[in-house]
Amino acid sequence: MRLASMKLLTLGMFMLGVFFLFLPYHVVPVHAPEHSLIEIFNYLGFTNVAETTVETFPVGTYNLTLYAEFAAYYNENELSYYEVSTNTFNLIFAGPEGGSGYISLPITKTFVADYQFGLSMLSRGYRYFTETSRNDDDGGDLLASTLFKYSRYVLGWN
């Protein structure tokens, strides 16, 4: 009886090993749907929006509020402003600020620009601009800026 139990135990261990060997190949991928900019704006209460072609902004004092970020590299993305026709970038939001998804306590930063400026997002070594002519389609995913006017501007890169 003891020999039969040992053979059965050995066979069971072998079958269990075979089962675990192929287990990683039977994982079913799950993909969450990506939110559209309009869905995000509606959720945040910006329901009466109209697209605009404004790409740069005049001299002034500006408050920028980070409400949400849905991005794979949210911890690395950086938002900056720059003087038009230059490559000098002034950091507004660094990657770790805010986190991923909707931000329960939105973060507001104020800056003063004494020149015409645009906004820029740096993500994984690629820089994207509100000035669409500065965006380079290098075969990667081109992030297009979309500006909506709602008694102020709401910016979303898609």
Q: Is residue 123 part of a domain?
A: yes
Q: How high is the pLDDT of residue 82?
A: 97
Q: Is residue 10 part of a domain?
A: no
Residues 6+ apart with CB under 8 A from 50: 148, 149, 150
Residue 56 burial class via C-beta count within 10 angstroms: exposed 0-12, middle 13-18, buried 19 and up: middle
Q: Is residue 136 part of a domain?
A: yes
Within 13 Å of residue 156, how many CA atoms lie on the same side as its CB? 23
Q: What is the DSSP string of 18-84?
A: HHHHHGGGGPPP--PPPPPHHHHHHHHT--S-EEE---SB-SEEEEEEEEEE--TTTTT-EEEEEET
- Structurally, the chain folds into a number of domains equal to 1
Q: How high is the pLDDT of residue 23?
A: 47
- Note if the pTM is more than 0.85: no
Q: Is residue 23 part of a domain?
A: no
Domain of 120 in residue numbering reads as: 37-157
Q: Is residue 32 part of a domain?
A: no
Mind listing the pLDDT tens digit for each residue in 42-98? 888 887 777 778 889 999 999 988 888 888 888 888 999 999 999 999 999 998 888
Mind listing the pLDDT tens digit for each residue in 111-150? 999 999 999 999 888 888 888 888 876 533 434 445 555 5
Q: Is residue 25 part of a domain?
A: no
Q: Is residue 110 part of a domain?
A: yes
Q: Is residue 15 part of a domain?
A: no
Q: How high is the pLDDT of residue 60?
A: 93
